[in-house]
Amino acid sequence: MESCRNLGTKIKENSKQLVDKLTPIENLEADFLIYKTKVSHWMEILFHYLGEGLSENVQTAEEKIKKWANAFGQRSSEMEIPLDHALHFILESRVVVSQLLEEAFKFNNTNANLAISASSRLNSLIDTATRAIVAHYTTFMHNTKKALQHTNRDLDVSILELNNIRTALFEGTIFSVTDKDDRIIQVNDHFCELTQYTREELIGQDHGKIFYSGVHTDSFLNHIKKEIKAGRVWNGEICNKAKDGSLYWVDTTIVPFLDPEGVAYQHISIQYDVTEKKKTEEILLKSEKVSLIGDLAAGIAHEIRNPLTSIAGLVQLINESDHEKNTFFKDIILTEINRINFIVSELMVLAKPHAVYFSWFNIVDSIQNVIDLMQPEANLRNVIISFEKANMPLVYGEKNQLTQVIINMIKNAMEALPDGGEISLAATSVDGHVVLSVKDNGLGMTEEQQKRIGEPFYTTKFNGTGLGLMVCFKIIQNHGGSIVVDSKLNEGTSFMITLPVHATSEVDPVLK
């Protein structure tokens, strides 16, 4: 037994050197070093436990080897080491310790019974490790099989759901699939019915060319292509041309399919025919325009009839009156004619009869110039004007029109302060937009009055035409901006004007 203890101690002390004696896996000499690197530490521990089995308590060593085998089996499966490769290292450990055992008893002339006893103990310990690893791999493979079966069932359900979705798309929508070059590779029957082409005529055709209607601009169509190539979903209404040359509108959602590199390799188009809807909208729009024209014409007739009536009556009185009265009547006539001219001029701005030239300019300087211009009138009205300004980007727009908007806003604010007060102006830059505000602490407006702000010929002033604010709204709209009004009766009014900076223009605003 002393010889067994000595041999066990030798195995423990030389466990690392014994790992180096493990022979390569057959036909895997090139990959053996990779596997060996992964398991060398584990095998060193195994040799140490085998040594303990000879030199110390064999049952304690057996329990340690069982725990080792479970951990090694789990780790080997996680590292995707095949079972036969994992067993190769275990079985090779038997060869290495057998050679060591043979050498020890050969040179020490130990009797055969001790040699057999030591060999039997080592083989028993190695068999324990082998069985534990095989059991672990068996359990692992069983669990993997169950997981695959469960996954297959999930896949079957997913495939069924996808087929149902595909059926719904084909039956309920106008559906097409195109490749990365916009060539049609699949369409459904509804698509053929709408376009009046057969499936054979459509497959392989350039989707953008065969349905080109000429309604949309090149920039609009290029934007759609850019969005799809960038892997983004696009939704909107498109006008296409059918085989017989008729035009139709479709509400379209284009969904790109991306490869692992994130490049769109094809896309599906899901469409709904909205031609009748567009026709209805057009009829309603025309009806609304006719109604608006009628209201505008009635307003113009009312506003111009009043001064014309005065002019007609005064012209009749001129010849019947003395020279002094005639001069007075002429002054009134000229005033009324100027009033008619002002109304017509305001309407001309609305109709845009003249060319508008946009340029880059500093709107803060324009606001300050307007304040300087109107300061004398403000002093007479006992109105204090303040202007809070910050570093602002240049604005791309029609300078004179935007200046006119500021003038109208400040004049309206002054007229809302019959007993004097304060007007606060501010200019800030927020998310690519210029935000201008004009606030006063004057008379304010009711909710009903706010709703009608901007209507033609609607005014809260005694001698106003109601066209000033309407022109302001139109100017801001033409610049792609908006005006928001907030007012409370007897507390004041605030106008918030938002304008896009248009900083992405091809022209450098600094060099303009």
In sequence order, the β-bridge partners of residue 241 are: 247
What are the distances in angstroms from CA 293 to CA 138, 143, 463, 469? Answer: 86, 78, 24, 18
Residue-level pLDDT at 343:
62
Q: DSSP H helical segments within 416-489, as ranges?
A: 447-452, 468-478
Q: How many CB atoms lie within 10 A of CB 425?
A: 22
Residue-level pLDDT at 295:
60
Name which of 127, 135, 141 is nearest 65 in CA terms: 127
Contact 89, 39 (CB under 8 A): yes
- Positive or negative, the CA dihedral 446, 448, 449, 451 is positive
Residue-level pLDDT at 350:
53
Residue-level pLDDT at 443:
83
How far apart are the C-alpha atoms of 338 and 340, rounded to whole Å?
5
- Positive or negative, the CA dihedral 279, 281, 286, 287 is positive
Residue-level pLDDT at 94:
82
**Regions of the chain short of the pLDDT cut 50:** 353, 462, 503-512
Residue-level pLDDT at 196:
92
How far apart are the C-alpha atoms of 381 and 412, rounded to whole Å?
13
Question: HSE on the CB side for 401, CA within 13 Å?
Answer: 25
Q: Position of tokens 């080792």?
A: 68
Quick: pLDDT tens for 43-89. 888 888 888 887 778 888 888 888 888 888 777 777 667 777 777 77
Report the alpha-carbon angle 453-436-510, nearest 5: 135
Contact 358, 396 (CB under 8 A): yes
Contact 319, 355 (CB under 8 A): no
Residue-level pLDDT at 30:
60
How far apart are the C-alpha atoms of 359 and 374, rounded to whole Å?
25
Task: Give the domains, in start order, of the chain with CATH numbers.
Answer: 2-147 (1.10.490.10), 173-273 (3.30.450.20), 279-351 (1.10.287.130), 359-500 (3.30.565.10)
Token duo for residue 365: 């300087």
Contact 494, 425 (CB under 8 A): no
What are the distances in angstroms from CA 434 to CA 138, 198, 374, 385, 400? Answer: 71, 53, 23, 20, 17
Residues 6+ apart with CB under 8 A from 378: 384, 385, 414, 423
Residue-level pLDDT at 505:
37
Quick: pLDDT tens for 352-393. 545 567 888 888 998 988 888 788 888 888 999 999 988 888
User: For the range 137-141, what are the long-range contacts, defined as Cβ-Cβ under 8 Å and sequence gap of 24 or more?
Assistant: 137/73, 137/77, 137/83, 137/86, 140/73, 140/74, 140/77
Q: How many CB atoms lie within 10 A of CB 82?
A: 13
How far apart are the C-alpha atoms of 460 and 131, rounded to whole Å?
98
